[in-house]
Structure 1
Amino acid sequence: MHRIVVVGGGAGGLELATRLGDRYGRGKRAENASVQVTLVDRYPTHVWKPLLHEVAAGSLDPFTQELPYAAQARWHGFDFQQGELTKLDRAAKRITLSAIADDDGAELLPQREIGYDTLVIAIGSTTHFFGVQGAKENSIALDTVPQAERFRKRLIAACVRAEYRTEHLGEQKAAQPQGEALDFAQAQAQAEAQAHAQAAAAQPDGPRIQVAIVGGGATGVELSAELRNTAHVLSAYGLHKLDPRHDIGIVLIEAGPRILPALQERVSTATTELLTKLGVQVMVGETVAEVAPGSVRTASGKTLRADLTVWAAGIKAPAVLGELDGLPVNRLGQLLVRRTLQTEIDDDIFALGDCAACPWPGNERNVPPRAQAAHQQASFLLRVIADRLAGRPLQEFTYRDFGSLVSLGHFSAVGNLMGGVIGGSMLIEGLFARFMYMSLYRLHIAALHGYARMVLDTFAHWLHRTTSPRVKLH
C-alpha cells in the first residue's frame, strides 16, 4: 500500500487529490501496487479562494458555492481527514493533525497521526501584516470564509447605524424640550453621534461611511470594485437610504507607485482609470504606519477615517511550515523546492501553490502565487507521482504564464492575456475580459467534477441568482 497524503484542500490540493483518486482510488491498481489517497484540511468544505472578495461584498453566498470535502472524497475514491497540520516526523513518515472541536467547544475529533509514503503540502498562504502597529487587531483579512462573512456583516451593520443615527437623532433633537434632562440611553446616543461628527470633521465633505482597503494588489482592487456594486444594490433594496456613491467612501491604499504592481503598467493604468470612474479613491505611494479603531495613519503623516479596514497588503506562508522537522523555508516562510517540486532535503515530500518557493528559470523571482500556477503544478504532480510509482525519473516543472485578469465586479474586468503563449501580452478589458475571468472559476469546477457537471452547475447557479437578491442582506 503506497500512501499518498495531500495536506491542503485549496485550488491545487483539491484538484490533485481528486485526480489522484480518479486514477488510483479505492478498488483501483497502479503498476500492480495498491495506492491510498488521503486529503487533509482544517475545514470541512472548500470555497475557491479568489471568490472571497465577492463573499465579503455580499455578492456571493458561500453556502451555495462550497463543496464538502467528504462528498468529493466519496465521489472520487479518496479519503478525507479534517484537521490542521501541526507536526511532521520525517524519519517515521508521519504527520500530526490537531484536534477538532464542534461549535460548542466539545472535542469532535482527537489529535491524530497519519502515515505517508508520498506527502504533498499545499496549505496555501495567509495575510502578511508586516509588523504594522494595530494592523492585525484593527483590520480584517480575507483568508477564509468566516473572515469574509465577518466583514460583510460589519459593512451592513455600519450602513444601518449610519442611517439610523442621522434620522433618529434628528427626530430626537426636534422633539427634545429645551432644558429637559437626558436619560442614559439618550446621552449615550448623543455621545456616539458627537464622536462620529468629530471623526468626520477632518473630512467635512467626506462620506458618512468609509472603507479603507490596504493593499493595491488583485484582492484589494477586486474588493474595492465589488463594494461599489454592493453599495448600489443595498440602496436599491432599501436596506439603507445612503447615497451609494457619495455617502459610502472607498479608499484603496498602496505603498508602491501604482496599483497591481505584479502586472504590466498599462494594466495598472487602465484599472486606476476604471476605479476612479467608480468613485474609488486610489492612494499610491502611501505606506500604512498604524491601524487604529476608526482610522488609518500613513508614514507621510496622513490620517484617514476608516469605519472598516481591510488588510490585503501581502501574503506569507503559514508559520507551521517553519516548524516541520527541519524543512528549509525562505524569508516568506515558503518551503524551498526543486523544479521537481520536491523539498530540498526530502525526496518524499512535495509542495505546491502559494506555500512553495519554486524556481522559475529565466526570471529573477519564483513562480508567482496565483491560482493558475497551483493548477499547473497539480497537473504536473499527477504525472510526477505516476513516474514515482513506476520507478521512472522525475520530470521538471515549467510554469507557463497565461496572463492575469482582475475583476471589477459587474462593471468590467481588465488584464493581460496569453503572456506566456504569444511571447508578449495583450491588454483586454470590458465584457470580453469579464467573460474570461468568469471562465476561470468554471474551469476549476470542471477540474473537480468534469465538464458535464460543470455545465449543469453553471445553469443551476444562474437559476438561483435569478430568484435571489444580488447581495446577501442578512
Structure 2
Amino acid sequence: MPKLNTLSAPPDAASGTSQIDPPPAPASQLPEANKGPNIVVVGGGAAGLELVTRLGDRLGRPGRARITLVERARTHLWKPLLHEVAAGSLDPNAHEVNYLAQAHWHGFRYRFGEMVGLDRAAKKLHLGGTFDDEGREITPPRAIDYDILAIAIGSVTNDFGTPGAAEHAVRLETPAQAARFNRRLVNACLRAQTQAEPVRPGQLHVAIIGAGATGTELAAELHRTLREVIAHGLDRIDPQRDIRIVLIEAADRLLPALPERISRATRRLLENMGVEVRTGARVKEVTGQGIRLADDSFIPAELVVWAAGVKAPEILRDLDGLEVNRLNQLVVEPTLQTTRDPNIFALGDCAACALPGGAGFVPPRAQAAHQQADHMLAQIEKRLRGQELAPFVYRDFGSLVSLGHHSTVGNLMGTIFGRGVFIEGLFARMMYQSMRVMHERALNGTFHAVISFLSRGLSRHTGPSVKLH
C-alpha cells in the first residue's frame, strides 16, 4: 500500500532556512570553481528532496561539494496528498514544488531524467533520454559522475500479478495518475446526468482495493466530494441510490499495519458515513465492469483503484549487482550504505533497512523518509570529514488517518508521551495537518511553511471546494 501518513519529528531548527534571513543566492550564481566531491541524489520524493535541499544549503552553497538531484518529474507533491487530488478536494498546482526553482534557491543542480543504469567501477550514473508529448527529444541519454550516490526513488504499487489489475485499476503513485482518476470520476457523473437512460447499477460505484492509509482516506474523501460534485446541478443523480463506495481489504481488518484500536475507530466512522467495508476479501480478478473476489462474488464498479501493496521500482532489480530483496528494495547496512558498495546509500521506501533485534524493517512511512533524510545529511558530512558513520535509529512517533471533514484518528507515541496515546477529532486533525507543515519547513524554512498553511486556509473560501473539471 502507498505510504502511510504519519507523524515525524521536526527538523533541527538550525538546519532550516531562517525566517528573517534574506533569500539565499541562487544556484546559478554559485562559483564554477567548486572542486568538491560530486554528491548525487536520485529521486525527488519526500526523502530525496529534503536531503538534496539541505545538502545544497550546507555543502553546495559554500562550495564544499557539488550537489545534484536527478528526477524524472518536473514538480514534487507530497505523496500523502495524492488521495485528495484523486478525490478532487485538492488542487495539486497550489501545492507542488518546482524542482528547477528549488535547485535555484537552495544551491543544488536539477537534472531532468530517469536513472536507467549504473557503472559502479567508473562511478557513473546513466540517464535515459527524455521526450515531449510529440516525441521530440528534450534531453539525450547521458552519464553523470558521482563520488557519493544516494538513491531515494520511492516505491510503486504492487498488484501481485492479479489478472486485469494493470489494465483496469487506477494506481495512485503520481499526481498525474491521481488527476486522471479525478477526471474519470467527474466524467462518470456528467455521463450519468446527460444520458437518456436511468443510471444503471454500478455506473457510479467506486471500488478501492486495499484498506491501508491511502485506500481508507480516499474512501472517506470520495464520500464527501462525490456528493458535492452532484450538488452542482447534477439533479438526475440520487446519491443515496446511485453512489456506492466499497473498500476491500484482504486482511481481517482495516489498516492492518496500525494498532487495532485505530482500525476499529476508522471502520466505525466509515460505516457511519455509508462506505461499505469488506475485510477478509481477496481480489481474484479486475475487469472493466468491476471486481471478482476469491469466493467468485462480483462487485460491479465503474472505477477501480488499486491501493494495496508496494514494492521498489524494477530498475533496482539489476542495478550493477547491488543487493535487493524480493520487493526490489536495496538492502542496506545500518548506516544506510548498500551492502555491496559503501559509496552508494539508499533511503526511503526503496531501502530495506533492518530494525534492531530482528524486529523487521523500517516501514515505508513519511516519518521514516524524513528521519532518514535527516540522518543522511549528518552521515555525508561525516564521510567528507573522514569520520566513522553512525547507524540509523528509527523512532515511531505514531500514525494518523484522516477521514476528511468527518474526523481524524490515530495514536501518538515515543518520548513525548512514553506510550501510545489514542487521539481522535479536532486535535488529531490539527496534528495531521502539522505533518505537511513539517515537510514544507524542511524544504523552505518555518516562515514559508506558515505562510503556505495560512494561504491554503484562505483559498478554501474563494472557489468550489471540489474540482469540477
Common fold: TM-score over 0.5: yes
Counterparts of 1:458-469 in structure 2 under 5 Å? 458-469=453-464
Q: Does 1:169 align with 2:204?
A: no
Give me the whole-angstrom Cα distance separating, in 1, the residues matched to 2:38 and 2:113. 18
Alignment of 1:434-445 (within 5 A): 434-445=429-440
TM-superposition CA deviations, 1:375-397 (whole Å, max 9, x none): 00000001000100000000110
SS of equivalent to 1:252: strand
The answer to whether residue 149 in structure 2 is matched with residue 119 in structure 1 is yes
Deviations 1:250-280 (A, max 9, x none): 0000001001000011110000000001110
Q: Counterpart of 1:180? A: none
Q: State the secondary structure of the residue aligned to 1:17.
A: helix
Task: Check 1:209–1:394 CA distance in 2 against 1; reply closer, same or farther (3 A cut).
Answer: same
Cα distance, 1:240–1:218 mapped onto 2, change above 3 Å? farther
Q: Which amino acid aligns with 1:14?
A: L
Contact 1:215/1:254 (8 A) holds in 2: yes
Any idea what the Cα deviations from partners look like across 1:18-77, whole Å, max 9, x if unmatched? 000000113x14xxxx30000111001101111000000000111111111010001001
- Where 1:283 maps in the other structure, the secondary structure is strand
Q: State the partner residue of 2:4.
A: none
Q: 1:388 aligns with which of 383, 386, 393?
A: 383
Per-residue CA deviation, residues 381-436 of structure 1 (Å, 9 max, x unaligned), is 01000100000000110000001101101111111112565443111111111111
Give the share of equivalent positions with the same residue, in percent.
56
Q: In the TM superposition, what whole-angstrom CA distance separates every residue of 1:319-372 from its partner, at most 9, and x where no partner exists? A: 000121000100111000011000001000000000000011145210000010
Aligned counterparts of 1:228 and 1:417: Cα–Cα separation in 2: 27
1:204: which partner in 2? none
Distance of 1:96 and 1:239 partners within structure 2: 51
SS in 1 for 2:317: helix
Structure 2: runs of 5+ lacking an equivalent: 1-35
Divergent runs of 4+, >4 A: none
1:204-353 map, 5 Å:
209-239=204-234, 241-353=236-348
CA drift of 1:239 comes to 4.3
Shift of residue 461 of structure 1? 2.1
What SS is found at the alignment partner of 1:436?
Answer: helix
CA shift, 1:232, in A, is 2.2
Corresponding position of 2:120:
90
Alignment match of 1:109 (pick from 132, 139, 144): 139
Q: Distance in 1 between matches of 2:307 and 2:278?
A: 14
CA distance in 2, matches of 1:419, 1:257: 27
Greater C-alpha Rg: 1
CA distance, structure 2, for counterparts of residue 468 and residue 101 of structure 1: 35
Give TM-score, length-normalised by structure 1: 0.89
Q: Please state how far the C-alpha of 1:245 moved relative to its aligned partner.
A: 4.0
**What is the total number of aligned residue pairs between the two structures?**
434
Question: Match for 2:197: what amino acid?
Answer: L
Is 1:402–1:418's contact at 8 Å kept on the other side of the alignment? yes
The verdict on how the C-alpha distance between 1:429 and 1:348 changes in structure 2, with shifts beyond 3 A counting, is same
CA RMSD, Structure 1 to Structure 2 (Å): 1.4
Q: Is the CA contact 1:403–1:420 (under 8 Å) kept in the aligned structure 2?
A: no
Which structure is higher in RCO with an 8 Å CA cutoff and minimum separation 6?
2
C-alpha distance in structure 1 between counterparts of 2:95 and 2:457, whole Å: 12
**Structure 1, unpaired ranges of 5+:** 171-195, 201-206
Please give the alpha-carbon distance, in whole angstroms, between the structure 1 residues aligned to 2:169 and 2:341. Answer: 38
